[in-house]
Structure 1
């Protein structure tokens, strides 16, 4: 898909705070644990998609309820445009979670209908990586209003899969600051930092990975198992020098005694 001309100044329904909205925002607590996951997180390798050593930016992409049935097509489009999917999950938001995510719009006329729409079905959340990812993703998805997108950016994702200003198929973070906040909302364990490239990456692998990996690969060649990938994964887990040591922790709170592994 060709790059589109510079997008108009209209903002997506994710923009600025008013004093009233700020007050509402600080009263709320994020409840990530309430997400109803309908598919497990998909962690993709990012070893070699930026050989030039330039900064690789990350942004949050959402496929909204009206376009979830086209999620595979949309993902194919973004992959063809050079984006890498670092993490992905399919979730159903509660009204409270949705209100928290869109807290800057609290008090606006469209807020109730926005919450109703975004909680009407599952959504797909993705962390995308690419040079200048925030701008590039917003260019690819097109104007906020899908009707306008069909007229001015006919090959954009919103033109292809959206219906109107609210049912516009996808969401994209509008700035690097927003991207960091939104990524942490859906992926609280995600480290939003520049991906190491060049010599720093080589140093990291040499210090933390190569010795263990070579040991496992040598054992793999000797063993020649029927399923080498599964065998290698098990072997790496077995000889992992960073494997955590489990200890018994007593707490006055029963919640603190529960360990949840996702």
Structure 2
């Protein structure tokens, strides 16, 4: 049985109106427990924006949305966390930045958004949307399981700590002149998970 779990993924976009605050927003994302799996700075063309927002093509705001989203670079991120979609939507707040300031003053849109369109960030609204949007920007990414805190602790205690303990014990005994290099060499030589290679050479008589 694997120690890892497949956490949910979602797409986050820092829009043109907030891209100058990208570093601050990324810090909020990380402090809120998200893992940034992939990130791209990109300047979309109007055609690319039209494709991405195609579900809104019949809406009256569609032309202005395309013009806004293609006006300057954006930051696109694939985020991971348990319940990532709802967690990210809660963190960014109401679509209308004015309402967000009244109802959710600590949300990202309340802090960095201006109005309903220039609202700082985007978040996928469903698993289907998240998969489509991630695929749009990053292709067909295959994500390994991200371990829970307990799984990570179990992995360290069961797989890494015993080897590290042996290495440090030997280091204390030998007291090498360059302990960092010695430790690196020792770990390479004594890695219990390195593949075993048959070094014997068979000579075939002609």
Query: So what's the TM-score if we normalise by structure 2?
Result: 0.70
CA RMSD of aligned residues (A): 2.7
Higher relative contact order (CA 8 A, sep 6+): 2
Find the partner of 2:88 among 115, 137, 142. 137
Shift of residue 54, structure 1, vs aligned partner: 4.3
Write out per-residue CA displacement over residues 208-250 of structure 1, whole angstroms, 9 at most, x where no aligned residue.
Answer: xxxxxxxxxxxxx9x949xx8xxx9xxxxxxxxxxxxxxxxxx
Write out per-residue CA displacement over residues 38-77 of structure 1, whole angstroms, 9 at most, x where no aligned residue.
Answer: xxxxxxxxxxxxx974441110000000000000000001
Q: Which residue of 2 aligns with 1:25?
A: none
Q: Which residue of 2 aligns with 1:64?
A: 15
Question: What is the distance in 1 between the residues matched to 2:3 and 2:29?
Answer: 21
Shift of residue 107, structure 1, vs aligned partner: 1.8
Query: So what's the TM-score if we normalise by structure 1?
Result: 0.55
Quickly say closer, same or farther: Cα 1:196–1:169, change in 2 above 3 A: closer
Task: Report if aligned partners of 1:63, 1:171 keep a CA contact under 8 Å in 2.
Answer: yes
Write out per-residue CA displacement over residues 176-199 of structure 1, whole angstroms, 9 at most, x where no aligned residue.
Answer: 1110110010001422x5626459
Question: What is the distance in 2 between the residues matched to 1:74 and 1:196?
Answer: 22
Question: What is the distance in 1 between the residues matched to 2:52 and 2:6?
Answer: 27
Question: What is the distance in 1 between the residues matched to 2:132 and 2:104?
Answer: 28
Mind listing any 5+ residue stretches in structure 1 that lack a counterpart?
A: 1-50, 207-220, 233-262
Task: Report if aligned partners of 2:5, 2:145 keep a CA contact under 8 Å in 1.
Answer: no
Give the 5 Å matches for 1:8-27: none
Q: Which residue of 2 aligns with 1:184?
A: 135
Question: What is the distance in 2 between the residues matched to 1:178 and 1:194?
Answer: 20
Mind listing any 5+ residue stretches in structure 2 that lack a counterpart?
A: 160-177, 189-206
Quickly say closer, same or farther: Cα 1:102–1:91, change in 2 above 3 A: same
Write out per-residue CA displacement over residues 145-179 of structure 1, whole angstroms, 9 at most, x where no aligned residue.
Answer: 00000000000000000000000000000011110
Counterpart check, 1:105 vs 2:56: yes
SS at 1:149 equivalent? helix
